[in-house]
A and B are shown apart, each in its own frame.
Chain A
């Protein structure tokens, strides 16, 4: 099992939350102090460099118009780390190709980072959470189609080495695509896809040999998704060989009291406030889901986890915390409950959690937990092609 350090790079120094209507999309930037922001950017990048020294991999993402995440351009932070770290893998999870609207630019950026890092890059693609629709003004009824058309174009651009090709798709038209540089890795870096409910999408990722990742979901649902992935996996020869990834909040401490204190700080992320119109833009989820929403029975993915006790979150495998042996035990339990998984994406910093506390937890994990989980077997995806033969 591979372990990854992750922070959304939050900007938590806000007025009292009860005085704000939202932390996302429409929070005025007068609440952002550039000097504090400068400190935060450098601090979060320092933490990734420490993660690298500790033998952890580095996971980055991006969001827009939100205090929950000031990494608004993951390729920039990945480029910094490609140059400033030397060992760990770097994964952007992911490039919001549906919202960025320029797949070729993404292909170029990823190829360049892959070269600078000498092949340490994994490239995720995401459809983007509902809030992101508004910052990009993407039509919310077409994000899945935009995602896959973008991936098709990026992978074709990476792997076409004999000169220009033509692409006239539904959303992008380019008549002379000819990528320089091409990626360091062959045929191209591992591709990761995220998902939270759409099984067809998960199987589509599996069928292309991509890694499938999901975040902060109850373990029963994670198993359902991972089983779906494993049932449809095809090895297409990509570096890393596909696999599954799960992101819980993770905090490791010397004492139970300190562990609980850290765990409570991490749940800041789950309590991020937003206004209702940003949570479920029209057409973002299928009509069947919106029928339930109209009845008041569906309010979005993270809503289900809001305001739950840390004990509940721990039982669900969404929040892992404790002394090193306890943390290792919880990871083993989660591994068994979901039928195994290959990448532990640790949201190890959130909200107001200090640099010292974050690094202490990372160090304890790297030294005392990782050796207990590193050798958990790679899951054995059913190779659908072999099974068919």
Chain B
């Protein structure tokens, strides 16, 4: 990841080398990036770092983190990140998870959220709401790339990346992220069948933030997901798709900052 202020180092957690970006000082905020790691270079990180110790790990197989064969689903990543919290002795921790990162945050919270002070989930995957024939989460891997872009973005020009201008090192990370996303989320597709039955365990004040125009996981899905977490609030952002923090950063930052307090 090119530096946007994050200082990257490696921590060995359960025998796995994990890349962790850090910035700022203050009460800690764990930022769990989405599957494309677009968050790492956003101004949002610097904003949060003005008053927080921001910690941004790369999940196994993402960024430059190792990916052992035995890790096969986000549940495994959640245990590793709970180790991270212990290793860094993070207390009263706010957790902000985007997309896949939101799913991982929910998996962590159902296991042990004692160290959590707040939980913000931004357009997360992770549960299946409907029956076997219902498509809860649009299939990004069997859909034409144009359709995926249209589902993901309110304004798809905001999601365009020019891969021909990237170095091989940067492209290797893009390719690793694409591959690892499939490793962890292919089957069951983008959800853990057990998670739905475990969400009642979450005690942390939780806010779901959703792009009104997200076509991959719709606001209706988000509201049903939020309904499974005791006391969870739901906020939606207009003119935004799956990444409301990228399409509407001002509206997003206002909601998140108010929630984190």
Q: Which residues of A contact B (CB under 8 A)?
A: 25-26, 134, 137-142, 145, 170, 275-278, 281-283, 287-288, 290-291, 293-296
Contact = CB atoms under 8 A, between A and B. Distances in A.
B7 interface: no
Given A170-B69, A276-B144, A294-B163, A287 B179 contact: yes
Contact of A295 (B141, B164, B180): B164
A7 B178 CA distance: 35
Contacts of A283: 178-180, 182-183
Contact of A282 (B145, B164, B178): B178
Nearest to A142: B183
Nearest to A290: B175
Contacts of A141: 179-180, 182-183, 186
Contact of B182 (A26, A282, A293): A282
A222 B142 CA distance: 32
Q: Which of B142, B164, B183 has the most CB of A within 10 A?
A: B142
28 contacts: A25-B142, A26-B142, A134-B141, A137-B186, A139-B182, A139-B186, A141-B179, A141-B180, A141-B183, A141-B186, A145-B69, A277-B143, A277-B145, A282-B181, A283-B178, A283-B180, A283-B182, A287-B175, A287-B179, A290-B178, A291-B168, A291-B172, A291-B175, A293-B175, A294-B171, A294-B175, A295-B163, A296-B163
Nearest to B143: A277
Given A277-B143, A291-B172, 12 more contacts: A25-B142, A134-B142, A139-B186, A139-B187, A141-B183, A277-B142, A277-B145, A281-B182, A282-B179, A283-B183, A287-B179, A294-B175
A277 B164 CA distance: 20
Q: For chain B, what secondary structure do more than half of its interface residues adopt (helix, strand, loop), or is it mixed?
A: helix
A140 B186 contact: yes
Contacts of A142: 183
Contacts, number: 65
A134 B144 CA distance: 13
A170 B182 CA distance: 18
Contacts of B163: 294-296
A244 B59 CA distance: 42
A142 B184 CA distance: 11
A290 B173 CA distance: 10
Contacts of B141: 134, 277, 281-282
B142 A287 contact: no
A281 B142 CA distance: 9
B36 to A, nearest CB: 12
Q: For chain A, what secondary structure do more than half of its interface residues adopt (helix, strand, loop), or is it mixed?
A: loop
Nearest to B181: A282
Interface in B122-173: 141-145, 163-164, 166, 168, 171-172
Q: Which 9 A-B pairs have the closest CB atoms?
A: A282-B182, A290-B175, A283-B179, A294-B163, A141-B183, A291-B171, A139-B186, A287-B175, A282-B178
Given A134-B142, A275-B144, A296-B164, A140 B182 contact: yes
Interface of B: 69, 141-145, 163-164, 166, 168, 171-172, 174-176, 178-183, 186-187
Nearest to B70: A170
Given A137-B187, A294-B171, A277 B182 contact: no
A120 to B, nearest CB: 37
Contacts of A287: 172, 175-176, 179
Contacts of A295: 163-164, 171
A93 B69 CA distance: 28
Contacts of A290: 175, 178-179
Nearest to A287: B175
A77 B196 CA distance: 44
Contacts of B187: 137-139
A142 to B, nearest CB: 8
A139 B178 contact: no
B261 to A, nearest CB: 39
A58 B135 CA distance: 42
A141 B182 CA distance: 7
Contacts of B168: 291
A283 B180 CA distance: 8
Contacts of B183: 139, 141-142, 283
Contacts of B172: 287-288, 291
Contacts of B144: 275-277
A25 B139 CA distance: 14
Nearest to B67: A141
A384 B242 CA distance: 55
A277 B151 CA distance: 15
Contacts of A170: 69
B181 to A, nearest CB: 7
Nearest to A294: B163
A26 B69 CA distance: 31
Nearest to B142: A134
A140 B182 CA distance: 7
A276 B143 CA distance: 9
Contacts of B143: 277
Q: Which of B143, B174, B179 has the most CB of A within 10 A?
A: B179
A276 B147 CA distance: 12
A275 B147 CA distance: 12
